[in-house]
């Protein structure tokens, strides 16, 4: 089937026939377990397959099981028959439901991101699910499950090409767009991922909790307390496995339609993040990770919403990486950092610390930090907490032990608020909160001097207005072209750009993959 047919005539098409079985295999397993558990146990014990005491009722039980199985399979068939999708008139629509019908649709030019998800069973059948994200507080506007993998990639490529401006105009409405080329910029080695999990905050908490339990059991001379830890141990193991499964084989690549992230061991996922949809970036470094120089990166993406069990992986821009990896990913999200020496500025944001004795104004590294008079409010972090405004973004650093750096492009600032509690009024400081879309990143300038906070409030509002006026396109490939010249050359005729802007954050020690 050609995507040209779907786009031109807008016919309604069905998902793959195996889709309901991939989604509902748990129901079939439950039916089989309920009716076959006793027989299976009897076979393992060397007894008859059917209990002799049930000979008179066995036909009825088999008949009931057959009816329940038929109803389940029939429900699957009806679910498949009444699930249809359409790509036409600038929308992707999905109709579902037999008794209770539902239609969901998303405008193609408003799609924030498209993910290709392959659970283990779907991978066996060669199927994939498409998730179309829009700005709806994290709930997927459209979930198209399941399509053949090649067809899912083709559909994603066409939609993203139009969203990125690679294909536009009515003359291109029927063109079948091939999947955009890509250039891998980094990958996370499995050894580093395992090390980051073993040295995470979660591990420290587990060790402290285990020490407390052992101490209590010794003092009370009660060994039964260890039995109560079994559910906790299972839960901890599941959490570690989930983190490893989601971070395994993590790779990041550049493509004309955005940043491509791939990860997963059993359940694989391929995300495409148009950089224009990224609202804020956070770089974090736990204390133990400082020994190895490791960092992690999270993002707020329009449409993803707050990070939950699933969202935590989807908002992860880098599970663990070195400083060059952080700078490389930052150069993709913010191709123009707005300063002449980005290496120095971002290093100060990651590791900088103002000299003691400073009372107000910018520190030696350019960051405006908490005034000395408020050091009692943050004895460890007052020299670390600070902000720095470039031409294109606001950098906010905080944390003496748990270091964080938050970067918010000026045009992504939706609103702001000044917060000042009783103690803050006493020390004449205030917090400035920047509001973006929901997500794991909460931009907040901690304990700035009142004068600096009010001045930043006014200036940041003006910067946001001017940045939104200057922003005329979400296309970004031309700005990161030096990092992937072969990809840019492929897409250049379609993009229609003749100039390329070098990436100021590009590192000399960049390595492919």
Domain assignment of residue 219, yes or no: yes
Same domain, yes or no, for 284 and 142?
no
User: Would you state the pLDDT for residue 306?
Assistant: 55
Tell whether 122 and 228 lie within a shared domain: no
Distance CA 89, CA 78 (A): 28
- 168 and 207 in a single domain? The answer is no
Q: Going edge to edge, which strands form the sheet with 142-148? A: 142-148, 127-133, 113-118, 268-273, 258-263, 251-255, 183-187
158 touches 167 (CB < 8 A): yes
| 425 in any annotated domain | yes
Q: Are residues 146 and 9 in the same domain?
A: yes
Domain shared by 101 and 239, yes or no: no
- pLDDT of 368 reads 92
| Whether residues 124 and 17 fall in one domain | yes
Rounded Cα distance between 155 and 106, Å, is 14
For residue 513, being part of any structural domain is answered with no
Residue 269: inside a domain, yes or no?
A: no
Cα–Cα–Cα angle for 80, 85, 89, nearest 5°?
Answer: 170
> Of 247, 263, 285, which residue is a domain's last?
247
Q: Is residue 502 part of a domain?
A: no
Q: Identify the DSSP state of 223.
A: G
Answer whether residue 392 is part of any domain: yes
Report CA dihedral (67, 69, 71, 76) to the nearest 10 degrees: -170
- pTM of this structure: 0.77
Residues 31 and 108 occupy one common structural domain = yes
- Is there a single domain that holds both residue 361 and residue 471? yes
Stretches where the chain sits below pLDDT 70 are: 1-10, 25-28, 30-62, 65, 109, 112, 135-141, 161-177, 223-228, 303, 305-313, 356-364, 471-513
Confidence at residue 4, expressed as pLDDT on a 0 to 100 scale: 44
What strand order describes the sheet that includes 444-449?
Answer: 415-419, 429-435, 444-449
Distance of alpha carbon 442 from alpha carbon 433, whole angstroms: 8
Asked if residue 45 and residue 96 are part of one domain, the reply reads yes
Q: Are residues 167 and 45 in the same domain?
A: yes
The structural domain count of the chain equals 3
Q: Is 90 left (phi over 0), alpha (psi -120 to 50) or beta?
A: left
Please check whether residues 79 and 210 belong to one and the same domain: no
In this structure, is residue 503 part of a structural domain? Answer: no
Q: Which of 204, 230, 247 is the last residue of a domain?
A: 247
Domain check: are 200 and 164 in the same one?
Answer: no
Domain-ending residue, one of 230, 247, 264: 247
Let me know if residue 284 belongs to a domain. Answer: yes
Q: Which domain holds residue 203?
A: 189-247
C-alpha to C-alpha distance for 247 and 267, rounded to whole angstroms: 11
* Residues 312/469, Cβ–Cβ less than 8 Å: no
Tokens of 126: 């060669």
């Amino acid at each position: 089937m050609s995507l040209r047919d779907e786009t031109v005539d807008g016919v309604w098409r069905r998902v793959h026939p195996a889709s309901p079985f991939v989604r509902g295999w748990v129901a079939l397993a439950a039916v089989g377990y309920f009716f076959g558990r006793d027989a299976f146990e009897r076979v393992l014990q060397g007894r008859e397959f059917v209990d002799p005491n049930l000979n008179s009722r066995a036909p009825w039980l088999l008949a009931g099981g057959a009816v329940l199985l038929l109803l389940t399979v029939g429900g699957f068939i009806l679910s498949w028959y009444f699930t249809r999708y359409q790509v036409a008139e600038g929308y992707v629509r999905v109709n579902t439901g037999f008794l209770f019908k539902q239609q969901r649709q998303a405008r193609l030019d408003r799609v924030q991101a498209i993910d290709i998800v392959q659970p283990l069973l779907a991978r066996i059948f060669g199927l994939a699910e498409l998730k179309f994200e829009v700005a709806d507080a994290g709930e997927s506007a459209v979930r198209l499950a399941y399509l053949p993998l090649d067809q899912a990639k083709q559909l994603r490529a066409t939609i993203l090409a139009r969203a990125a401006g690679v294909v536009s105009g009515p003359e291109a409405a029927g063109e079948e767009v091939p999947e955009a080329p890509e250039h891998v910029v980094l990958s996370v080695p499995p050894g580093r991922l395992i090390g980051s999990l073993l040295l995470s905050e979660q591990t420290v908490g587990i060790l402290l909790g285990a020490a407390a339990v052992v101490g209590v059991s010794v003092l009370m001379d009660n060994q039964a307390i260890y039995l109560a830890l079994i559910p906790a141990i299972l839960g901890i193991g599941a959490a570690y496995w989930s983190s490893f499964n989601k971070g395994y084989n993590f790779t990041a690549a550049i493509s004309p339609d955005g940043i491509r992230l791939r990860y997963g061991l059993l359940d694989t996922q391929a995300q495409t993040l148009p950089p224009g949809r990224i609202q804020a970036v956070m770089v974090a470094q736990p204390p133990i990770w400082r020994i190895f120089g490791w960092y992690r990166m999270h993002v707020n993406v329009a449409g993803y919403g707050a990070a939950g069990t699933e969202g935590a992986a989807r908002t992860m821009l880098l599970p663990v990486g070195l400083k060059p990896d952080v700078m490389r990913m930052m150069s993709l999200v913010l191709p123009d950092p707005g300063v002449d020496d980005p290496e120095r500025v971002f290093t100060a944001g990651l590791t900088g610390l103002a000299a003691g004795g400073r009372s107000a104004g910018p520190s030696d590294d350019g960051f405006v930090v908490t005034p000395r008079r408020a050091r009692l409010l943050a004895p460890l972090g007052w020299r670390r907490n600070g902000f720095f405004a470039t031409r294109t973004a606001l950098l906010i650093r905080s944390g003496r032990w748990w270091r964080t750096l938050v970067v918010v492009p000026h045009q992504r600032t939706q609103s702001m608020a000044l917060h000042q509690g009783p103690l803050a009024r006493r020390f004449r400081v205030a917090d400035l909160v920047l509001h973006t879309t929901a997500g794991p990143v909460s931009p907040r300038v901690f304990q700035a001097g009142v004068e600096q906070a009010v001045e930043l409030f006014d200036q940041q509002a003006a910067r946001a207005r001017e940045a939104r006026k200057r922003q005329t396109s979400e296309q970004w490939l031309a700005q990161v072209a030096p990092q992937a010249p072969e990809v840019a050359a492929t897409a250049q005729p379609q993009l229609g750009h003749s100039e390329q802007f070098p990436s100021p954050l590009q590192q000399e020690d960049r390595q492919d993959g």
